[in-house]
Amino acid sequence: MDRKNIEINPLLETYGKYIEKIDQALDKELALYSESEFIEPLKYSLEGGKRIRPIILNLSAESIGKIDENTLSASCAVEFLHMESIIHDDIIDNETMRRQKEPFHVKYGYNTSVLTGDFVLGLILAISSRLDNARITKDLATTAMLMSEGEMIEGRLE
């Protein structure tokens, strides 16, 4: 992952080792799909992220002495879920700027945005199937559904 779009701040200085491991794990996941039509859009979508959610997951796992390859894979699933939610949220909110660059749907169009979001959900399922932990799979699925429900509620309130 290219970090040039993020200015150095205390979070990066303090948690840089986590971000580096998470970025390496994300690169490893994406390498599995290097021939996919979605590879460039996926890389674009991951550029410049702060990785807060995966950092929290890693810190939690480390606090109970359980940080391993499964932790990094789960971190990828969490980051991909966040990425997917941003892609769809930007479409719904008709955003014109995200992280000082064009939002996904402006750069790639609506069809590619929706299909990339769907592809990412498949990525998350593939990762969770390798973890062989039904609770993680259930929690990821529940989170995705609750995020969608929340977006529907937000739309009604506007």
pLDDT reading at 149 higher than 50? yes
Residues paired with residue 101 on neighbouring β-strands, in sequence order: 98
Tokens standing for residue 89: 């949220």
Determine the 3-state secondary structure of 6 from DSSP. coil
Q: Are 130 and 69 in contact (CB under 8 A)?
A: no
DSSP state of 17: H
Q: How far apart are CA 31 and CA 10, in angstroms?
A: 30
Instruction: Identify whether the C-beta of residue 30 lies closer than 8 Å to the C-beta of residue 56.
Output: no
Cβ–Cβ < 8 Å for 108, 41: yes
HSE value, Cβ hemisphere, 13 Å, CA-based, for 50? 12
The per-residue pLDDT for range 57-90, each reduced to its tens digit, is 999 999 998 888 899 999 999 999 999 999 999 9
pLDDT single digits (tens) 39-51? 999 999 999 888 9
pLDDT above 70 for 105:
yes
Instruction: Give the contacts of 69 (CB within 8 A, at least 6 positions apart).
Output: none
Q: What is the model's pTM?
A: 0.88
Residue 12 pLDDT class (50, 70, 90 cuts): low
10-157: CATH topology is Farnesyl Diphosphate Synthase (1.10.600)
Residue among 52, 66, 70, 64 at smallest CA distance from 15? 52
